[in-house]
Structure 1
């Protein structure tokens, strides 16, 4: 528990912002961004876990790919959090709040075969992609074109990494047991 005496801003609140997005609209956008942020971090931790545990014939390539993918997710999480803050919101930061806000679930601590791990990653990427795509539309509809543009950039990278994972899962790669 924090030893701080007074919170400057409570979590799950949105204040007026310098970018002049109406507070009611900003609340909707910040809520969506916080769900994207939380889900991106859940996916980040899962991809990072797979990066640490990858084994097998293609482990070198996969190790490098997963490291890059995790780095991209971390960069996007940071950008999403900063945008939520710029809109007057409080980005979800702690593991419990991230778990509560996320629309994807962490697979747990167990280690699985890399093919199974990548299939789980691809499924989670798909869920994040669908929601981010929806949030691009929400931001656009509410007149927040900067957030829409940020999310388009995030979406493009998510789709690229999902496409790469899909290629790793082709039948002519990754030895099947």
Structure 2
């Protein structure tokens, strides 16, 4: 715990940015949206890592590698989102309790499930995040923040691609004999 007594920026405050020509009112709306995305992306990251750690079975290696890569994508995206929040004069969510509370998606519980159930849970979370990101792209555009809109669009492509891979893993076509799947 820090012993520093001087708070430089309070959580929840948004100053806007002179350098980016973004007034506090517009910046606050965008920062709120981005902090929601930061929270959701970190919840996704932790769930993907959980599944990466616990995956078993005939397709272990491919799924283990994919889940690690997808988690890495989420971690990088969360970092970009948090840096944009800061650039807009806001304070990015960083506390685990705040991330959990502010996330529009809910993490799976601590139990370990079969990989099909785990991936189905990931697919549901990806879908919710994709819908939210699309809304936030539109919000940023409507507020004239084309840079944030572009950041969200670029990362939305990766989020959709990872979701599409999960969808493929959930298909019923497999090299594993049906008896072995029961």
Q: TM-score, normalised by structure 1?
A: 0.97
Give the C-alpha shift of residue 127 in structure 1: 0.5
2:16·2:25 contact (CA, 8 Å) conserved in 1? no
Show the counterpart of 2:75.
Answer: 74
What SS class does the counterpart of residue 109 from structure 1 fall into?
coil
Show the counterpart of 1:10.
Answer: 10
Give the C-alpha shift of residue 16 in structure 1: 3.0
Q: Determine the C-alpha separation between the residues in 1 that align with 2:169 and 2:22.
A: 42
What SS class does the counterpart of residue 14 from structure 1 fall into?
coil
Show the counterpart of 2:53.
Answer: 52
Matched, 1:176 2:181: yes
Q: Determine the C-alpha separation between the residues in 1 that align with 2:62 and 2:162.
A: 14
* RMSD (Å) for aligned C-alpha atoms: 1.2
Matched, 1:130 2:135: no
What SS class does the counterpart of residue 32 from structure 1 fall into?
helix
Residue by residue, what CA displacement relative to the aligned partner does 1:104-141 show, whole Å, maximum 9, x if unpaired? Answer: 01112110000000000000000000000100000000
Q: Computing the radius of gyration over CA atoms, which structure comes out larger, 1 or 2?
A: 2
Using the TM superposition, name which of 134-143 and 18-27 deviates more: 18-27
Give the C-alpha shift of residue 176 in structure 1: 3.5
Give the C-alpha shift of residue 22 in structure 1: 1.6
Give the C-alpha shift of residue 92 in structure 1: 0.0
Q: TM-score, normalised by structure 2?
A: 0.94
2:44·2:122 contact (CA, 8 Å) conserved in 1? yes
